[in-house]
Structure 1
């Protein structure tokens, strides 16, 4: 008979002396291979024993008692019961808990992988259309009294919009449509079109409400592809349903766009006509969606942080590379390069609706599926194999990532217990608070998007943010200049969020805007800079103003800001080198991904790092004058290994502060400070002394160095290394000069650089990172006459 794990329960009655019971049980451990558990109490002793027992269970029970007797255990041992299995008996309560856990787990699986995909693909909307709305009549468009000879009938109601009725026809027929006024209601059924306006120089004829008008080529193509052969189609299209010549109407209708896109049956994302370059792209996406399933599972487990998920994911969830000979990436790459992905207005059009579909020519695919595929392509590129032409869609990947993030905030996933319970249940860690999408963050993240009207850099994000935008400062008004729209937003941000974070934005200004206040950037030409209070610095424990409350007032004409603060130091030296993004340069030249080696990405910024090293050494000499010896001449000491001098793996004593400053103290507030130190050290080694290292050394450190490159880019992009008269090292805005002042504005988390204009007036240059004053030390450093003063920003 094969060995079986069994449980034996023995109860000792307290009839005889039991003083030596515990000692005897300890002897049992020494002479027996059995694992056992005992508990002493007033009634005696409960002994539970487990072992692999050969033979019958009853014989084994007798052997157990004999063994105890042999050890000299006194008292009467009575066998109470035994369980012939490998597990302890489960109580009724325990069984109930396990059943409940199983039900919740399967319920969550059904929600995540059945209900939500059906919802995102519009299955429930289609069901409602074919059942409920066949019984309940639609709220028909109001024909009302038409004004003769006018295509646009006046809009009189607060929730009134226009809808376009596209007449049916064959592909070769003339396009005909009609505009009607309608009231926004759950019974008003229509589809909303999202498309890139495109070139307005080429117009095609369209017959609309009895008038022949010219429409742009993209819209004409969309109407041809969307027209049904035998049925009318009711659409909302911004270019036609809003009178673009009436700025007052346009401003009011923009306020309704959030409701328009949220109440539409479906949003139709039109990417353009189908041609040879994108032939088969939609079919390839569907095939890729199934092929990338291991990556979906992988990302779900890793993002959930379920216990040891990362350990098992690396071993069990693997994906074989796609054979490029059997699959062409070109149609998908070309489709993702379509202009729609780079337009400002499409963000809210893709984020607000519950479900949408992407259309190219006569084919379509669910928008939720496209989001999933694009995300998986990014992980395939980083963890499986290079995607040919990936550098050509890098901006699209970033664009879709922004849309997905904003969409997740607006349409969060459903958790049976709620996410606040779900994540602690799986991870044992409390749920972190998630901020809603801030208007400022959305504007900064969409800086590379294009728009026809500069005002739309602000107005185009009003429907996406979760913040209250009902203020008069944010009223979509195209009668004012874009400069006034930008200034109103800055004032709203300072007042609404009681924050000076918006002053950290900077831009290149056109010649006609140079007379505008220095504290109002051109949001249509923002610098590619990562704010020091944004990710990845959001976890940093910085507070340059040491908790001092913000004190701001504006002039009567709202062109001047008066902010209380202090002057800390003066800039002595500003470096000439700037950060270079090698991948961007290669993308513009459309060079092959294979040419983007780790060596290229690191060495392209070697000049800036060497300049920063020299500036930091000078700053250290000035700061440490008379305080003892400074750092040595070399960042890495040299060790002789196998007769060959090699740079040490660790940084030389005295140079660790330079490492901290070079990466903007990225480890502050981080739970992985040792890891960050390790990767940043590897970054310096491969950048400065790579030519002295054997190939096996460089290969082992490349992964770390590339991770550190992201931290370096975040702090160094659009900034220059500098030092002050006092000897503080810093990253300053790229437009900073020698003689500019470093100030701390009360209420701000970071210092700023300003330029003196005389009479107590200053121009704002931008925010800066300055080692030594990021936690309020600057207020103490400031000379007495420069403390607690009012700075006037013009």
Structure 2
């Protein structure tokens, strides 16, 4: 993209950038061409800053000079204030075919602006590598609009700069809110013109509410993308200028009505009077066909020869385009000027697959007397909406903490009173190469057929959430089964396989927002928008269930399309989870399913318990730490604290520090649940909230896994069911009543029984045997001290790793054989050096099987194998002579070899059951051995010398650490094999001790 590496003699003459640019030619040489670009046509001045796609920055600038590729200038910020500023030209100037051009690599277009001849058509920037031709054409549709939007954005900044900044007036009543009205526009690129009005909720105003994310909608660490979404843009509001961030600007533009040109552009006629849809169908650009239909393209349009888009697609044999057009309502009986139907066109060119499909459609439609869709749009492109919309960033004065607290306290009522909640998930693409959303949504409209007006039957949706595979059951409603099955058949095989290691779309920022829980739970109706795509929330949930069912089936070794056998690629994707040292919760349940389950539970059962609501919110992100609490106040039971002066409830307060709020919440939970709330502790190595006592749950730390010592209804297992956690009872028959209090310094004082201390510890997590399997050797050393037989010690190890619970059963069923194979699999990926490829790079590989090629030399592998054999032997895990020969020759195996593939398939399958169980646990925990030779697992921060206590009123042991002045810090809950049901009291004398926890 950049010109720096492909240019020489870069210089600035006035405001003209000149350089010699290289250009490849057929002879293979790289000749140099002199090129120039007028920077005064590309850069403008906004408040003393250089801004791209402006003009005439040099009009009143001085001291303009070039340093490398960085342009420096002194610009007037006001009449008497000059501001030094600079911009790296390499960010937006590119060398395209030997000439300098302006290029936006994220939005995907380049512009001839600034060149000696500016009359050329604006085009997109082709990315490097072999591209998808279909997607290549799709991008061309966006290029001109993206360019126009950026230019208009700069113009708006200049025009609106003369206006006064927006000033909020005080709201007249405690139930008053502001609503935004977005004025209509002729073109999508027009700047936003809006107005804010004040209404009273007591008068039942008609409005929608927006659910979105303030920053980037994409979860990424790419600085350029984050910077793009952090920038602000000026809109016109009540004839004043108001600043909004980029993602909200995108949402406002999408919500705006009356953009006639969007539809008109799809009907612009070209050669032979062809519309863009007809041309895209003729060229076989399926993704572009979808996009045009979503923009309102007329499927009935005919060109000069009377041919529709379907005629051309059939004649050219573009079967997938034909299917899309037929499903979108294009008539299979339409005649062109030569009296030909689309089927006739296919027959004339001998398009056999297309002929077979169209003959079936003709017969079906004649039999059912199907009526084609009316002229216009078939795909849903618009939504029923009110004239006004509530948007927190604009309707609340964010600079007024008092107003903010009152409005936040009303947000539950605001969302509940809205006619509809509009979910804005952001643009389809985070950059020009990103197709993840489109890949998922292109055929989602097909799922609408499973319901009525986008709504599913309540019983059906309940069944799907309980078991996403229910759509395949013989008892499933016929229309549901047929609809989902047809949608699955349209899916790309490679795309489906990649779902086993996660879906990038469901990692968008919106799914991680704490406020989303309240916004969805309170909503009466929900509409989902993602770029040009729009669908009902029920359809979105059905999509999520269908995707989840595909993943469940593939994990179990079944092809969702009903085909026999397993593709080797699928096996590799499935086994990638076994390679992971951590677990992404999204791999186990798609966020939309979790949110819908909580939404339905609230509407049927009422508010969540305060602990469950807080446990749920801590797994989501909030810009303001205090919103971890405030975001769930409307959907939870009141968070109350009884004191000598009465009972007090938590209310939104943006003056109170997060530390004090968290302590208050912890004291409330302590009153309700006793010291078992220590099971909610997940303290990071570096405190996130300054001054937070160790016994107070840090609500900024996620807790995706069920704690061992307390049940949280909002945390669900893979099957959507709450895991019972009352299976342990370490305190046993001890009848001492819990006694505790919190001091004025926020210290927790309680009594407990010291049982033992940590003697040895293995540092990596539960699914990490270390590089070159060195930690596996450490595991063997630790359990060899336990005193039992090798088989007994091995059983203690694997049962401890999974807290002796599997799929709701305790003690866990016998997983010894699977555990042995799981350990061998971990040894295999460490020995061959493929862990990184399997865990981090698989999604980007063209051929996933390439991940299995050994990444280490034969000598390195044999050296590691010398460590593996004795380490596994310590655990009683041995190799047969045949196994030894195979492992010693792994460097010569090829993933393409059928013998290798069969061996790997069996190898992976034999360890899968244990892998599935342990990957439902908290893999950050550490294995330890106590001084009394008991094996356990504790929090990541557990150290040698830490103390293990049993506390009255709790169910599991807890790890504590001595600190200064005889006080203690809580490290967290623990599992210790052999004392989880009161056995600690047998033959052991323990006395109660006073613990002061700081």
Coarse TM-score class (shorter-chain normalised): 0.5 to 0.7
> Scaled by the length of structure 2, what TM-score is found?
0.50
Q: Distance in 2 between matches of 1:305 and 1:218?
A: 32
Q: Distance in 1 between matches of 2:670 and 2:213?
A: 33
2:914 alignment counterpart:
708
Matches within 5 A, 1:330-479: 335-383=505-553, 384=559, 395=586, 398-412=590-604, 437-447=608-618, 449-465=620-636, 467-469=637-639, 472=648, 474-479=650-655
CA contact (8 A) 1:509 1:521 kept: no
- CA shift, 1:354, in A, is 2.8
1:553 alignment counterpart:
741
CA contact (8 A) 1:406 1:437 kept: no
CA contact (8 A) 1:493 1:499 kept: no
Give the SS at the match of 1:542. coil
2:239 alignment counterpart:
210
CA contact (8 A) 1:566 1:788 kept: yes
Greater gyration radius: 1
CA contact (8 A) 1:270 1:358 kept: yes
Flag the 1:566–1:435 CA change in 2: closer, same or farther, 3 A: farther
Flag the 1:736–1:273 CA change in 2: closer, same or farther, 3 A: closer
Select between 231-240 and 683-692 the one with higher mean Cα deviation: 683-692
- Is structure 2 residue 392 aligned with structure 1 residue 253? no
Q: Distance in 2 between matches of 1:236 and 1:488?
A: 31
Flag the 1:560–1:780 CA change in 2: closer, same or farther, 3 A: farther
Q: Distance in 2 between matches of 1:449 and 1:187?
A: 31
The counterpart of 1:660, out of the listed 767, 788, 799, is 799
User: For each residue in 1:704-760, what CA deviation from the matched residue of structure 2 results, as whole angstroms up to 9, or x when unmatched?
Assistant: 632322332344511111111111111011211111110112211111111112544
- Is structure 2 residue 328 aligned with structure 1 residue 170? no
Q: Distance in 1 between matches of 2:823 and 2:633?
A: 43
1:615 alignment counterpart:
782
Q: Distance in 1 between matches of 2:929 and 2:464?
A: 46
2:789 alignment counterpart:
631
CA contact (8 A) 2:738 2:953 kept: yes
Give the SS at the match of 1:322. helix
Q: Distance in 2 between matches of 1:708 and 1:297?
A: 32
1:237 alignment counterpart:
391
Q: Distance in 1 between matches of 2:593 and 2:615?
A: 14
- CA shift, 1:336, in A, is 4.0
Flag the 1:227–1:668 CA change in 2: closer, same or farther, 3 A: closer
CA contact (8 A) 2:469 2:549 kept: no
Q: Distance in 2 between matches of 1:354 and 1:179?
A: 24
The counterpart of 2:963, out of the listed 731, 744, 757, is 757
The counterpart of 2:666, out of the listed 452, 473, 490, is 490
- Is structure 2 residue 735 aligned with structure 1 residue 718? no
Give the SS at the match of 2:546. helix
Q: Distance in 1 between matches of 2:772 and 2:415?
A: 45
- CA shift, 1:487, in A, is 1.9
Q: Which runs of 5+ in 2 are unaligned?
A: 1-163, 217-228, 260-384, 554-558, 561-568, 578-583, 642-647, 718-722, 827-871, 884-899
CA contact (8 A) 2:211 2:424 kept: yes
1:193 alignment counterpart:
210
- Alignment length, in residue pairs? 569
Q: Distance in 2 between matches of 1:750 and 1:605?
A: 34
Flag the 1:756–1:299 CA change in 2: closer, same or farther, 3 A: same
Flag the 1:702–1:335 CA change in 2: closer, same or farther, 3 A: closer
Flag the 1:229–1:580 CA change in 2: closer, same or farther, 3 A: same
- CA shift, 1:528, in A, is 6.6
Q: Distance in 2 between matches of 1:751 and 1:261?
A: 43
Q: Distance in 2 between matches of 1:409 and 1:224?
A: 34
Flag the 1:286–1:610 CA change in 2: closer, same or farther, 3 A: farther
Give the SS at the match of 2:764. coil
1:544 alignment counterpart:
730
Q: Distance in 2 between matches of 1:297 and 1:149?
A: 51
CA contact (8 A) 1:271 1:360 kept: yes
1:574 alignment counterpart:
761
CA contact (8 A) 1:539 1:668 kept: no
Select between 666-675 and 190-199 the one with higher mean Cα deviation: 666-675
1:287 alignment counterpart:
446
- Is structure 2 residue 387 aligned with structure 1 residue 181? no
Flag the 1:481–1:219 CA change in 2: closer, same or farther, 3 A: same
User: For each residue in 1:504-549, what CA deviation from the matched residue of structure 2 results, as whole angstroms up to 9, or x when unmatched?
Assistant: 4213254685643122344324477652135676245212233653
Q: Distance in 2 between matches of 1:176 and 1:605?
A: 62
The counterpart of 2:983, out of the listed 757, 777, 783, is 777
CA contact (8 A) 2:739 2:751 kept: yes
Flag the 1:668–1:232 CA change in 2: closer, same or farther, 3 A: closer
Flag the 1:328–1:668 CA change in 2: closer, same or farther, 3 A: closer
- Is structure 2 residue 749 aligned with structure 1 residue 562? yes
- CA shift, 1:245, in A, is 1.0
User: For each residue in 1:159-183, what CA deviation from the matched residue of structure 2 results, as whole angstroms up to 9, or x when unmatched?
Assistant: 3322223233333444222222222
- CA shift, 1:764, in A, is 1.0
2:463 alignment counterpart:
300
- Is structure 2 residue 253 aligned with structure 1 residue 224? yes
Q: Distance in 1 between matches of 2:668 and 2:461?
A: 42
Q: Distance in 1 between matches of 2:387 and 2:773?
A: 59
Select between 535-544 and 355-364 the one with higher mean Cα deviation: 535-544
- CA shift, 1:478, in A, is 1.6
Q: Distance in 2 between matches of 1:253 and 1:573?
A: 53
CA contact (8 A) 1:541 1:668 kept: no
Flag the 1:791–1:336 CA change in 2: closer, same or farther, 3 A: closer
- Is structure 2 residue 992 aligned with structure 1 residue 788? yes
Q: Which runs of 5+ in 1 are unaligned?
A: 1-147, 413-433, 582-601, 622-629, 633-651
Q: Distance in 1 between matches of 2:468 and 2:242?
A: 56
Flag the 1:767–1:577 CA change in 2: closer, same or farther, 3 A: same
CA contact (8 A) 1:616 1:658 kept: yes
- CA shift, 1:437, in A, is 4.0
Q: Distance in 2 between matches of 1:436 and 1:679?
A: 42
Select between 193-202 and 373-382 the one with higher mean Cα deviation: 193-202
Backbone CA RMSD of aligned residues: 4.4
CA contact (8 A) 1:205 1:212 kept: yes
CA contact (8 A) 1:483 1:522 kept: no
CA contact (8 A) 1:540 1:670 kept: no
Q: Distance in 2 between matches of 1:526 and 1:673?
A: 26
The counterpart of 2:418, out of the listed 248, 264, 268, is 264
User: For each residue in 1:604-656, what CA deviation from the matched residue of structure 2 results, as whole angstroms up to 9, or x when unmatched?
Assistant: 996655533431221x23xxxxxxxx303xxxxxxxxxxxxxxxxxxx46643
CA contact (8 A) 1:177 1:207 kept: yes
1:734 alignment counterpart:
940
Give the SS at the match of 2:517. helix
- Is structure 2 residue 809 aligned with structure 1 residue 670? yes
Flag the 1:402–1:502 CA change in 2: closer, same or farther, 3 A: farther
